[in-house]
Chain A
Amino acid sequence: MSATTQSPTASDSRTPSKAARLLGDRRLPVAVTALLFLLMYLGGLTRYQFYGFAEPQVFLNLFIDNGYLLVAAVGVTFVILSGGIDLSVGSMIGFTTMFTAWLVERQGLPLLVVVPMALAVGALGGFLMGYVIHNFEIQPFIVTLAGLFLFRGLCLVISKESISIGDSSVSSMATAQVSLGMGFLSIGAIVSLVVLAVAFYVLHYTRFGRRVYAIGGNEQSAMLMGLPQGGTKIAVYTVSGFCSALAGLLFTLYIQSGDPLHATGMELDAIAAVVIGGTLLTGGSGYVLGTLFGVLVLGLIKSIIQFEGTLSSWWTKIATGVLLCAFILVQRFMTTRQKT
């Protein structure tokens, strides 16, 4: 019964060509990143096959070594999807490591009390930033910049020196291994994967998640469509604050100390992972699954550089920058093509 009232030319313009649809598919960037990861992994396999690169544990270590980054990047994904940005991530992680180490070591509080406290502080910090961004219409860039200063400063207020954690429950948790047959994962890696799954569910199966996409796509429209865009925005920063705090806890577990300079500049890694994962920096388009691949790509760069032996650690930054540039340019071409 469809198309009965339309002229044939009219219905032509309705159905975009197959190629156009493939190029316009929002999952394409994720696929590209996944492919990139696969190629890099295969490249690593052929090049370092006699150095143990093929061990499944090498692959699993990507999750163990980057679990905290994944959690932070998932939080940033929410913010970027909504069209905002969060620069406070690294500081929040650093602060959480200090806060946790200080409470556990210096105040002797049990981990069971410290963990909810740290998470609550992170969420509250995010909430406050979101509140200011929404209610006073100040650019997220500036507000989260203030957050960056504040939490790094609070780190230093707690202590200038690093605090190592000797608590037995922490070290036993940190060294705990969950066997998967072919290898093992750490608790941190498991938590990060759970966070990823929850984020995926929230973004794709709840009204809140869809609102995040809607305000990222067109905030004005979202408002005119009657969506509570203010609450959504605040919630997004709260989520990011919570994720940063959780990432901070995982980082503490991973490194077993608190240090005022921990995770300096990690907000850039998180943002880079999100962008490389195919999320548009202008908001409204992207997937947390892409963020996973973004984190894995960054992690794999680090592993390959380790395996290479002769390459130094700064190549990680350069490679990250080059990838970032490539993805930003690709995004640019994709969005201009869609507009015309």
Chain B
Amino acid sequence: MAEPRPVLEMTGIVKEFPGVRALSDVDFRLFPGEIHALMGENGAGKSTLIKVLTGVYSLDGGTITLDGRSVRIASPLQAQQAGISTVYQEVNLCPNLSVAENIFIGREPTRLGRIQWKQLRRRAAELVDRLGLDIDVSAPLSSYPLAVQQLVAIVRSLGTGDGEGPGTKVLVLDEPTSSLDRDEVLQLFALMRRLKDEGVAILFVSHFLDQIYEVCDRMTVLRNGTLVGEHMVRDLDQVGLVQLMLGKAMGQLDELHEHQLRSDVGETLLRADGLGRTGGIAPFDLEIKKGEVIGLAGLLGSGRTELARLLFGADQPDAGKVSIGGKQVSMSAPNDAIGAGVAFCSENRKSEGLVPDLTVRENIILALQASRGWTRPIPVSQRDELVAKYIKALDIRPANPEARVGQLSGGNQQKVLLARWLITQPKLLILDEPTRGIDIGAKAEIQKLVVSLSEDGMSVLYIAAELEEVLRLSHTIGVLRDRRLVAQIANGPEITTSRILETIASGEHQ
């Protein structure tokens, strides 16, 4: 059977940012009536490609052909007018307005400036009906769960069907399922399939492998800003996909990693029983021993961060219990965890870690000071000594405690965060992607630090996107997949990245 003509063709796409080539020579095509998955890890270029397609970024090279005609997309509005609609993870609608209004606002049917409410509602109801959705269009949007709001956003993006614009040919769904439960995902898929049957080409981004295999026909895999391949979903199994995404083939790159880790981990420090949170991570059991490094492996969005946040009380668990040092801890707020000796460096340094207006010194002593309360300031001499010690030990640059933390480089900011928690001498240190976005030198230093901390008896929960990093540092590797802790593997000479890959892909460990 001859292949039909693609509705969208992007060829030789190049996008550069100062110092980074985010996309180099990427080809991408989309056929009418298909659901196409765009796959890749952090920094692979997924979101850049989508932003080029939807006119958020201008492209630095390559061509975009829509319906056989070469197009220039300079703004989101132009993309919309050309027939490319986008629905993002956060619903960009007004929750206080009715469903019908959200679909029509800005293009309400009017007569002499007066909005024709009856007509508006009738047409909204028709649109919703045609797509097989059971939504009362006169109810306020906020009375519906997020999933339905997502659907309404899709309905809005499809246009009003009254001849304004060419109608949607390409629908981009950027991680719409991240916070939906199973039933809600099914509703969304039902709508996607219906639109597919109507000939709409859908570009679908999701971190859930099972969802990709459930609903998609074809997929394009990116890695480090380049095209790795385009495959029919039925031709590529999950192990193969994960290998493509992470860039490892089985058996390759399996050089023996050195075990510099101390072998004698101590007694149990933390035990989590059935700990979980709806919409975050499924209940899991976990045991962390004294001096043990536990690495978490899994794809982006697999629940690594969610697990770590539960152990710190950053999110409140709705199931299970945690005990630290034999004592049960309520974990209703970070304070509970901190009191029990847990420290947490968030992956979002800027928004969840640093106070950018304050100095390096103030940022470093913040955690210790918070635990002492405001009435017992750390004595000046002791404070300066501590800060100087950690600036030196971690080689924070500039080595000026008065510098504003907001002006430091990413690697140095990460070190400030580390110093902040090390000063409190925690029993368990949780590091969520501590090496992301920092230079190689700083990366190696942080990894070395983890090893020496473990030797000193501190337990570390280490999250990193790179499997080698996890494998090199951890005594035990926890594997996550689709918001579930699927395996805990004791590290050893026989454990290789391919074994981990297999577990991530299949969700089982033999």
Distance of A224 Cα from B110 Cα, bound (Å): 22
A interface, over-half SS: helix
Binary contact readout A9-30 vs B (1 if CB under 8 angstroms, 0 otherwise):
1110111100011001010000
Q: In the complex, what's the smallest C-beta–C-beta distance from B129 to chain A, in angstroms?
A: 6
> Do A1 and B144 touch across chains, with their CB atoms under 8 A apart?
no
Cβ < 8 Å to A, chain B residues 90-117: 91-97, 101, 105-106, 108, 110, 113-115, 117
Distance of A218 Cα from B142 Cα, bound (Å): 12
B119 part of interface (Cβ distance < 8 Å): no
A220 part of interface (Cβ distance < 8 Å): yes
> Do A6 and B105 touch across chains, with their CB atoms under 8 A apart?
no
Distance of A218 Cα from B90 Cα, bound (Å): 12
Residue of B nearest to A207 (CB): B108
> Could you say which of B80, B97, B101, B190 has the most chain A C-beta atoms within 10 Å of its C-beta?
B97
Binary contact readout B122-150 vs A (1 if CB under 8 angstroms, 0 otherwise):
00000001001111100110111101100
Distance of A24 Cα from B139 Cα, bound (Å): 10
A264 part of interface (Cβ distance < 8 Å): no
Distance of A11 Cα from B145 Cα, bound (Å): 12
Binary contact readout A317-340 vs B (1 if CB under 8 angstroms, 0 otherwise):
000000000000000000000100
Contacting residue for B139 out of A4, A16, A227, CB 8 A: A16
Distance of A24 Cα from B141 Cα, bound (Å): 11
Distance of A221 Cα from B114 Cα, bound (Å): 24
A74 part of interface (Cβ distance < 8 Å): no
> Do B96 and A26 touch across chains, with their CB atoms under 8 A apart?
yes
Given contacts A3-B134, A6-B134, A213-B96, contact A16 B143 (CB under 8 A): yes
Cβ < 8 Å to A, chain B residues 138-193: 139-140, 142-145, 147-148, 156, 183-184, 186-187, 190, 193
Given contacts A5-B132, A14-B135, contact A210 B142 (CB under 8 A): no
A226 part of interface (Cβ distance < 8 Å): yes
Contacting residue for B184 out of A13, A21, A24, A217, CB 8 A: A13
Residue of B nearest to A222 (CB): B94
Which residues of B are found within 8 Å of A15, using beta-carbon distances? 134, 136
Distance of A221 Cα from B117 Cα, bound (Å): 22
Q: In the complex, what's the smallest C-beta–C-beta distance from B148 to chain A, in angstroms?
A: 6
> Do B97 and A210 touch across chains, with their CB atoms under 8 A apart?
yes
Which residues of B are found within 8 Å of A13, using beta-carbon distances? 145, 147-148, 183-184
A299 part of interface (Cβ distance < 8 Å): no
> Do B134 and A11 touch across chains, with their CB atoms under 8 A apart?
yes
Which residues of A are found within 8 Å of B132, using beta-carbon distances? 1-6
Residue of B nearest to A286 (CB): B96
B77 part of interface (Cβ distance < 8 Å): yes
> Could you say which of B132, B134, B136 has the most chain A C-beta atoms within 10 Å of its C-beta?
B134
Distance of A153 Cα from B184 Cα, bound (Å): 59
Cβ < 8 Å to B, chain A residues 202-221: 204-207, 210-211, 213-214, 216-218, 220-221
Which residues of B are found within 8 Å of A222, using beta-carbon distances? 94
Distance of A3 Cα from B128 Cα, bound (Å): 11
B194 part of interface (Cβ distance < 8 Å): yes
A169 part of interface (Cβ distance < 8 Å): no
> Do B93 and A218 touch across chains, with their CB atoms under 8 A apart?
yes
> Do B94 and A21 touch across chains, with their CB atoms under 8 A apart?
no
Number of interface residues of B (CB under 8 A): 41
Contacting residue for B129 out of A2, A205, A207, A218, CB 8 A: A2
Distance of A284 Cα from B190 Cα, bound (Å): 32
Which residues of B are found within 8 Å of A221, using beta-carbon distances? 91-94
> Do A10 and B96 touch across chains, with their CB atoms under 8 A apart?
no
> Do B105 and A14 touch across chains, with their CB atoms under 8 A apart?
no
Which residues of B are found within 8 Å of A20, using beta-carbon distances? 143
Distance of A19 Cα from B140 Cα, bound (Å): 15
Which residues of B are found within 8 Å of A225, using beta-carbon distances? 92-94, 105-106, 156
Distance of A207 Cα from B117 Cα, bound (Å): 11
> Do A24 and B143 touch across chains, with their CB atoms under 8 A apart?
yes
Binary contact readout A267-308 vs B (1 if CB under 8 angstroms, 0 otherwise):
000000000000000001100000000000000000000000
A179 part of interface (Cβ distance < 8 Å): no
Distance of A20 Cα from B134 Cα, bound (Å): 18
Q: In the complex, what's the smallest C-beta–C-beta distance from A340 to chain B, in angstroms?
A: 11
A310 part of interface (Cβ distance < 8 Å): no
Contacting residue for A217 out of B76, B94, B133, B145, CB 8 A: B94
B: residues with CB less than 8 A from A are: 76-77, 80, 91-97, 101, 105-106, 108, 110, 113-115, 117, 129, 132-136, 139-140, 142-145, 147-148, 156, 183-184, 186-187, 190, 193-194
**Known interface pairs A213-B96, A225-B94; 20 further A-B residue pairs with C-beta atoms within 8 A, sorted by A's residue number:** A2-B132, A3-B132, A9-B183, A10-B186, A13-B183, A16-B143, A16-B144, A24-B143, A26-B140, A206-B114, A207-B106, A213-B94, A214-B97, A217-B96, A224-B76, A225-B92, A226-B77, A226-B80, A226-B106, A227-B105
List of 5 A-B pairs having minimum Cβ-Cβ separation, nearest first? A217-B96, A217-B94, A284-B96, A5-B190, A3-B134
